[in-house]
């Protein structure tokens, strides 16, 4: 099945990818099939249609699933434990109460966007979501506001930083590939990122929150409901506990910037404690003391909290793994390469070209980081032949493109769907639209800034 209707091989691959995605969406949205099973079936369908050998297809499915869960499964497990400790100790309620008191009910969703933006600077999107989801649930419950009105601003803050703001790994890849100035890129990313996050976060969140009313998954929400009547922990120690992994990852990021090859012992140690798994593990152990023993909980109670909070995450982890399998088949089947070829044949302004290259790869592979990395390799030769281009803005355009149109091949899509207890159509109308708004609004601001810098 190398070609259909006389189309080129690349065009045929794009058609088969579209068929597989439509098949996936219909089975889940229309016929209510289990998403994990459907993702595996769609991966196999695409592989066979694209002409992959059975052995290669199995390797892509298992490799994609295992590769995706290698870190995320640990992050979800540790992050859920940290969230459970915050809930049982009253820490999440303390942060939620403080935010509501300081900003007021009508403005608390603005505060949530700022929290997401700050927490997201040194951490991957998935880690930030795991850290903040207990606070989202508690704030929504305390304020009686729509879950999406509180959640979308957090997601917008996290996602904006993921795509645009150094020292996040994806922007750093493009900075290195293009030879951009780090300081200028950070400055421009804040000028562009903050208004972009505001429009796609609090503004869009208020709009969509009134139209899509959802409740958090009951089992998961119950993990983050405080069942103890003792006095709430202090705001300072609670905030430090939740920000500890963020601070450790920031230390690791700074060390990698100062000493990229990690040649010194201090840099190696900083990189070690700054890895998301190690940082979260340290934070979880610290929470056992700061929010556990210090609050009067016994060791048996803390062990019980850590054990019982994992069961509700099992289905989420499997679905994310299924998304990883589908993504890997898209890449190994040649769809990602077909997208790249389509992008390189375009003749645009280099900023628009960078955005389009990253956007097409993002749609094909589902990964913002893969889109940023691959697009950097595509755009670098074009940038070298464009002496008048603002290199830092090209970095940001690549990042903005890598955020567009998150859909069923993105692990983040399934995380948001499951944590916010939405259907596939609801997730497309909320999360996917928000990501696309971030991408397009970011591009508009980048083009406007290019007129003056």
- How far apart (Å, rounded) are the C-alpha atoms in residues 15 and 21? 10
Residue 197 to residue 413: CA distance in whole angstroms: 18
As a whole number, the mean pLDDT across the chain is 81
Q: What is the pLDDT of residues 163-173, one digit of tens each?
A: 888 766 567 66
Residue 451: both structure tokens together: 């007129």
Domain boundaries, the chain: 65-314, 335-450
Average pLDDT estimate for 27-51: 84
Q: Is 212 helix (H, G, I), strand (E, B) or coil?
A: coil
- C-alpha R_g of the chain: 22
CB atoms within 10 A of CB 423: 14
Structure tokens at 46: 């695409």
**365, pLDDT greater than 60:** yes
pLDDT of residue 439: 94
pLDDT at position 255, please?
81
Binning pLDDT at 50, 70 and 90, where does residue 325 land?
confident
pLDDT of residue 437: 95
Which of 172-176, 187-191, 316-320, 335-339 is the most confident on average?
187-191
Is the model's pLDDT at 137 over the cut of 90?
no
Helices (H), 288-367: 299-308, 314-332, 335-344, 350-365
| Lowest pLDDT segment from 111-125, 285-299, 369-383 | 369-383
Q: pLDDT grade, residue 123 (50/70/90)?
A: low
- Residues 6+ positions from 241 with CB-CB distance below 8 Å: 82, 85, 86, 91, 283, 286, 287, 290, 291
Percent of the chain, pLDDT > 90?
15
- 61 vs 228, higher pLDDT: 61
Confirm if 399 and 174 have CB atoms less than 8 A apart: yes
Per-residue confidence (pLDDT) for residue 288, from 0 to 100: 92
| pLDDT tens digit sequence for 43-84 | 899 899 988 999 999 999 999 888 877 777 887 788 778 877
Q: How do residues 239-297 score in pLDDT, each as one tens digit?
A: 888 778 878 877 887 787 787 777 788 888 988 988 878 988 998 999 999 988 888 88
The predicted pLDDT at position 62 comes to: 93
Cα gap 95→85, rounded to integer Å:
13
User: Does the pLDDT of residue 343 top 60, yes or no?
Assistant: no
- Which of these, 418, 426, 440, 429, lies nearest to 362 by C-alpha position? 440
pLDDT beyond 80 at 128: no
Residue 358's nearest CA partner among 308, 317, 417, 399 is 399
Q: State residue 45's pLDDT score.
A: 93
Q: What integer pLDDT is reported at residue 252 of this predicted model?
A: 81
The conformation of residue 123, written as its DSSP 8-state character, comes to: S
Q: 124 or 150, which is more confident?
A: 150
What band does 224 get if pLDDT is binned at 50, 70 and 90? low
**Residue 2 has what DSSP assignment?**
-
Whether the Cβ atoms of residue 187 and residue 150 lie closer than 8 Å to each other: no
| d(C-alpha 256, C-alpha 248), whole Å | 13
User: What pLDDT score was predicted for residue 448?
Assistant: 93
Checking phi first, is residue 212 left (phi over 0); if not, alpha (psi -120 to 50) or beta?
Answer: beta
pTM of the model: 0.68
- The answer to whether 309 and 223 have CB atoms below 8 angstroms apart is yes
- In the chain, the percentage of residues whose pLDDT exceeds 70 is 85
Q: Say whether pLDDT at 1 is over 70.
A: no
pLDDT at 2 over 60: no
| pLDDT surpassing 90 at residue 143 | no
Region 180-191 average pLDDT = 82
Q: What is residue 106's DSSP assignment?
A: G
């Amino acid at each position: 099945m190398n070609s259909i209707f006389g189309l080129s091989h690349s065009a045929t691959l794009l058609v088969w990818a579209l068929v597989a995605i439509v098949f996936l969406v219909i089975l889940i949205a229309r016929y209510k099939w289990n998403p994990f099973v459907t993702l595996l079936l769609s991966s196999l369908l695409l592989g066979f249609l694209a002409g992959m050998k059975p052995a290669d297809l199995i390797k892509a499915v298992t490799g994609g699933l295992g590769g995706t869960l290698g870190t995320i499964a640990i992050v979800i497990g540790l992050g859920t434990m940290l969230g459970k400790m915050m809930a049982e100790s009253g820490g999440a309620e303390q942060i939620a109460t403080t935010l509501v008191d300081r900003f007021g009910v009508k403005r608390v969703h603005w505060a949530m966007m700022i929290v997401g933006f700050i927490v997201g600077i040194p951490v991957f999107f998935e880690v930030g979501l795991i850290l903040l989801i207990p606070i989202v649930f508690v704030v929504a419950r305390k304020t009686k506001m729509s879950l999406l009105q509180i959640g979308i601003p957090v997601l917008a803050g996290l996602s904006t930083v993921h795509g645009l703001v150094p020292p996040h790994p994806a922007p750093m890849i493009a900075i290195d590939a293009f030879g951009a100035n780090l300081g200028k890129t950070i400055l421009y990313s804040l000028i562009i990122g903050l208004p972009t996050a505001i429009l796609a976060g609090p503004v869009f969140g208020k709009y969509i929150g009134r139209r899509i009313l959802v409740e958090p998954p009951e089992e998961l929400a119950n993990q983050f409901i405080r069942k103890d009547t003792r006095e709430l922990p202090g705001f300072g120690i609670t905030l430090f506990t939740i920000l500890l992994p963020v601070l450790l990852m920031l230390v690791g990021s700074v060390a990698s910037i100062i000493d990229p090859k990690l040649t010194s012992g201090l840099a190696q140690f900083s990189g070690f404690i700054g890895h998301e798994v190690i940082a979260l593990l340290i934070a979880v152990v610290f929470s056992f003391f700061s929010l556990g023993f210090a609050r009067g909980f016994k060791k048996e109670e803390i062990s019980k909290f850590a054990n019982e909070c994992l069961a509700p995450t099992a289905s989420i982890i499997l679905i994310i793994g299924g998304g990883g399998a589908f993504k890997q088949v898209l890449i190994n089947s040649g769809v990602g390469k077909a997208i790249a070829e389509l992008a390189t044949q375009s003749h645009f302004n280099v900023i628009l070209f960078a955005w389009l290259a990253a956007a097409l790869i993002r749609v094909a592979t589902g990964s913002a980081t893969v889109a940023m990395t691959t697009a950097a390799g595509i755009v670098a030769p074009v940038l070298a032949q464009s002496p008048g281009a603002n290199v830092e803005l090209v970095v940001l355009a690549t990042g903005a493109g890598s955020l567009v149109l998150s859909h069923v091949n993105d692990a983040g899509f399934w995380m948001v769907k499951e944590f916010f207890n939405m259907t596939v159509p609801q997730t497309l109308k909320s999360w996917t639209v928000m990501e696309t708004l971030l991408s397009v609004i970011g591009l508009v601001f980048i083009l406007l800034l290019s007129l003056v810098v």
